[in-house]
């Protein structure tokens, strides 16, 4: 009986303590009035809407005439703007510096790279991209950046981080700028099925949210052929199997046709770049539900500014071979109904210019609605974050942007975004009221 009485007393105290703490923590309420709101799921532009935010998530969305301002709520008047969900870039390198490529980048230390990431994270957030997928960074600098932002220590987008990208010896994901005697190899280099499994396990051990690997050569690496496959089917299957077993999605850098097909057959979740598609590759992507992430803007920067920022002459020649062909591939893939998520390869070009890709996507076949959906609902699905981001609906994070004008009629308004909110907190407000 004494023991029962003691347990009852402890339970009563626990309830009292919990009640006291909850009473001391008032909910933060925000009421947003939107002149227009883009429902990215339906593509419909809705007039005179209201959004109620409690703490960092959306509680209610609907016509302003039907939603009253909650007692004690902060009111944000966006009645002269169009409100959209925070944008998602599925392919960035926040710790990479667009001003330094090739040999001009070899002197950057890991600590310096991490600090660079902190600087560019804020710029990316203020450009309206509230969520990104970082696909490749040395020494898990992107994992550290993700955690610092999540802890509220730095401003920046929500990050899914891959850590070091996996690749073959001498491949696109290796470091090929040094002579033999320097004995320098990139963090993620692994050859053979069991070695790639071990590297996947190591990346997961140190905090990777996803696995990125190089299935073909690339534009900015020394001595690799764009169309040449890297990793065998056996190696790719082992890599994908290990990653999926550990609950991680897989992104494959792949320009060349054969490497794209092999990676799709191996079960990757996304093909990055997807430059040299043929009909079979498009059909395979559609059959397997593979998402394509095609950076159709970046070629403009490479061919106009690449030499000034240290890109190798061979890289400029490779971009001439692949840039326009990628845009044809984009048009063909979109026309066939393949899923395409927004991704830009930021760090090759200046961070913060991510929004310039929207106009390129529209020019090469998408409607404005489809381009915006690629950077919201489609990207959220690819990232496995559809319950949290990608649309302005109850239950998801209060990530939103506001622009003057109608982005469905003028997609280029997304290149300069005056208002950015992430998780209910305003990070940028340059609207004239």
What residues pair up with 254 in beta bridges, in sequence order?
273
CA torsion 390→391→395→396, rounded to 10°? 30
9 pLDDT band, cuts 50/70/90, is very low
Same domain, 149 and 295: yes
Residue 145 vs residue 1, higher pLDDT? 145
Same domain, 170 and 75: no
CA torsion 405→407→411→414, rounded to 10°? 80
Same domain, 251 and 267: yes
Is 91 inside any structural domain? yes
Query: Does pLDDT of 7 surpass 90?
Result: no
Residues 273, 102: Cα–Cα separation, whole Å: 20
Q: What is the mean pLDDT of residues 77-89?
A: 98
CA torsion 418→420→425→429, rounded to 10°? 0
Backbone CA torsion sign across 401, 292, 140, 358? negative
Sheet containing 57-63: give its strands across: 57-63, 44-54, 29-39, 74-85, 400-403, 419-422, 425-429
Is 202 inside any structural domain? yes
Residues 118, 124: Cα–Cα separation, whole Å: 10
Six-digit token string for 126: 């203020």
Same domain, 244 and 364: yes
Please tell me whether residue 344 adopts helix, strand or coil conformation: coil
Same domain, 412 and 342: no
* Contact of 69 with 59, CB cutoff 8 Å: no
117 pLDDT band, cuts 50/70/90, is very high
Task: Say which CATH number the domain at 53 has.
Answer: 2.30.40.10
Tell me, what's the pLDDT at 433? 77
Same domain, 93 and 78: no
Q: What is the mean pLDDT of residues 83-104?
A: 97
At a CB cut-off of 8 Å and minimum separation 6, what does 310 contact? Answer: 100, 101, 102, 103, 104, 105
The 10s digit of each residue's pLDDT in 332-379 is 999 999 999 999 999 999 999 999 999 999 999 999 999 999 999 999
276 pLDDT band, cuts 50/70/90, is very high
Tell me, what's the pLDDT at 183? 94
Tell me, what's the pLDDT at 25? 57
Say what angle helices 141-150 and 110-126 make with each other, to 10 degrees: 50
Same domain, 323 and 230: yes
Is 19 inside any structural domain? no
Tell me, what's the pLDDT at 26? 72
Mean pLDDT of the chain: 94
Six-digit token string for 55: 């703490």
Please tell me whether residue 284 adopts helix, strand or coil conformation: helix
Query: Does pLDDT of 149 surpass 60?
Result: yes
Is 14 inside any structural domain? no
* Strand pairing category for 74-85 and 29-39: parallel
Query: Does pLDDT of 282 surpass 50?
Result: yes
Q: What is the mean pLDDT of residues 324-334?
A: 98
Is 22 inside any structural domain? no
Residue 120 vs residue 14, higher pLDDT? 120
* Contact of 137 with 162, CB cutoff 8 Å: yes
Is 12 inside any structural domain? no
Give the helix/strand (H/E) hosting 126: helix 110-126
Domain extent for 158: 87-383
Same domain, 304 and 215: yes
Tell me, what's the pLDDT at 290? 98
* Contact of 309 with 270, CB cutoff 8 Å: no
Residues 96, 210: Cα–Cα separation, whole Å: 18
User: Does the global pTM surpass 0.75?
Assistant: yes
Tell me, what's the pLDDT at 4? 45
Same domain, 242 and 128: yes
Residues 401, 86: Cα–Cα separation, whole Å: 5
Q: How many structural domains are present in the chain?
A: 2
Same domain, 282 and 340: yes
Give the helix/strand (H/E) hosting 373: helix 368-374
* Alpha helices per DSSP H over 276-364: 279-288, 298-305, 313-335, 357-363
Is 13 inside any structural domain? no
With 0-12 / 13-18 / 19 or more C-beta atoms within 10 angstroms meaning exposed / middle / buried, residue 404 is middle
Is 6 inside any structural domain? no
Alpha carbon 292 to chain centroid, angstroms:
13
With 0-12 / 13-18 / 19 or more C-beta atoms within 10 angstroms meaning exposed / middle / buried, residue 26 is exposed
The 10s digit of each residue's pLDDT in 152-171 is 999 999 999 999 999 999 99
Residues 199, 274: Cα–Cα separation, whole Å: 24
* Contact of 394 with 59, CB cutoff 8 Å: yes
21 pLDDT band, cuts 50/70/90, is very low
CA torsion 214→218→222→224, rounded to 10°? 80
Same domain, 213 and 138: yes
Query: Does pLDDT of 18 surpass 60?
Result: no
Same domain, 74 and 212: no
330 pLDDT band, cuts 50/70/90, is very high
Residues 309, 306: Cα–Cα separation, whole Å: 5
* Alpha helices per DSSP H over 151-192: none
236 pLDDT band, cuts 50/70/90, is very high
Task: Say which CATH number the domain at 223 has.
Answer: 3.20.20.140
Q: What is the total residue count of the chain?
A: 433
Residues 113, 100: Cα–Cα separation, whole Å: 11
């Amino acid at each position: 009986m004494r023991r029962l009485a003691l347990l009852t007393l402890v339970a009563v105290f626990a309830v009292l303590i919990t009640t006291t703490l909850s009473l001391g923590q008032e909910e933060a309420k925000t009421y947003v009035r939107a002149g227009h709101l883009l429902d990215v799921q339906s593509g419909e532009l809705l007039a005179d809407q209201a959004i109620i935010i409690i703490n960092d998530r959306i509680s209610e969305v609907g016509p302003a005439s039907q939603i009253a301002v909650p007692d004690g709520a902060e009111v944000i008047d966006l009645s002269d703007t169009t409100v959209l969900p925070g944008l998602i870039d599925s392919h960035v390198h926040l710790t990479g510096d667009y001003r330094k490529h090739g040999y001009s980048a070899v002197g950057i230390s890991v600590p310096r790279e991490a600090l660079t990431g902190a600087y560019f994270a804020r710029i990316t957030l203020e450009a309206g991209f509230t969520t990104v997928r970082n696909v490749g960074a040395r020494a898990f600098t992107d994992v550290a950046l993700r955690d610092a932002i999540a802890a509220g220590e730095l401003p920046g987008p929500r990050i899914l981080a891959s850590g070091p990208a996996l690749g073959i010896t001498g491949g696109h994901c290796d470091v090929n700028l040094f002579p033999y005697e320097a004995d320098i190899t990139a963090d993620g280099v692994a050859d053979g099925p069991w070695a790639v499994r071990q590297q996947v396990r190591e990346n997961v051990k140190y905090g990777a949210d996803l696995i990125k690997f190089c299935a073909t050569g690339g534009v900015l690496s020394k001595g690799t052929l764009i169309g040449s496959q890297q990793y065998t089917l056996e190696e790719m299957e082992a890599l994908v199997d290990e990653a999926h077993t550990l609950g991680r999605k897989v992104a494959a850098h792949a320009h060349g046709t054969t490497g794209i097909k092999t990676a799709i057959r191996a079960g990757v979740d996304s093909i990055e770049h997807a430059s040299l598609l043929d009909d079979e590759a498009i059909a395979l992507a559609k059959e397997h539900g593979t998402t394509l992430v095609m950076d159709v803007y970046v070629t403009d920067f490479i061919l106009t500014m690449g030499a000034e920022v240290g890109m190798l002459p061979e890289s400029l020649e490779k971009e001439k071979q692949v840039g326009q062909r990628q845009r044809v591939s984009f048009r063909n893939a979109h026309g066939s109904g393949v899923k395409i998520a927004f991704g830009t390869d930021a760090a090759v070009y200046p961070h913060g210019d991510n929004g310039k890709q929207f106009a390129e996507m529209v020019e090469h076949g998408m409607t404005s609605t489809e381009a915006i959906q690629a950077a919201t609902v489609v990207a959220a699905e690819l990232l496995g974050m559809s319950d949290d981001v990608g649309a302005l609906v109850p239950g998801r994070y209060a990530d939103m942007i506001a622009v003057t004008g109608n982005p469905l009629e003028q997609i280029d308004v997304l290149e300069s975004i005056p208002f950015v909110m992430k998780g209910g907190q305003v990070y940028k407000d340059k609207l004239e009221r």
